Amino acid sequence: PAYKRVYDALTGYMFLEGIADNLSADLYPHFRKVHDFIERERGRRADSLVLVHCAAGISRSSTLCCAHLMLSRNIQFGTALALVQAARPICMPNAAFQGQLLRLEAELGLPPTKNATSAGELSAFLDDILLRNRGDGIGDDDDDDDDDDDDDDDDDDDD
């Protein structure tokens, strides 16, 4: 992309190209490289900050921030996620990235994140929290769902 050429000239810039935000994407191989980069850049000056971003600022960047916190502070995924969400509440790694962070947690010899015995259970737990925080009504049981079911039944009879 054109913007990449601009950043190539900058020092203190890392670009991870071609990593989608989907369930087949693998950020795990980049965890230590990104962590090392952040540590190196933060060590340049006492007041230095590092911006970690992705297209939406929800999943990929939060995953890398969680991994960095886990590696630098030797903390569990759940604790790292809470710290990231305290700074940016919409952050939520997708289910695949959550599994990769749990893998890192195990690799670091940390006890499993509380309330999660598997990536799937953690994903369901975090999805539930995300839906409650979004307040978008997904999963709400209301009378509209019953009306929709009746409409669907009528459509089936017409076929």
Q: What is the set of domains in the chain, with CATH numbers?
A: 2-158 (3.90.190.10)
Q: How far is CA 144 from the centre of its chain?
A: 32
Q: How far is CA 88 from the centre of its chain?
A: 11
* Residues with catalytic function: 54
3-state secondary structure (DSSP) of residue 10: coil
pTM above 0.85, yes or no: no
C-alpha–C-alpha distance, residues 84 and 110, integer Å: 19
Q: Please name the amino acid found at residue 8.
A: D
Reading the chain (159 residues) residue by residue, the pLDDT tens digits are: 555 555 555 567 778 888 999 999 999 999 999 999 999 888 887 788 887 888 888 899 999 999 999 999 999 999 999 999 999 999 999 999 999 999 999 999 998 887 554 555 556 666 665 555 555 444 444 444 444 444 444 444 444
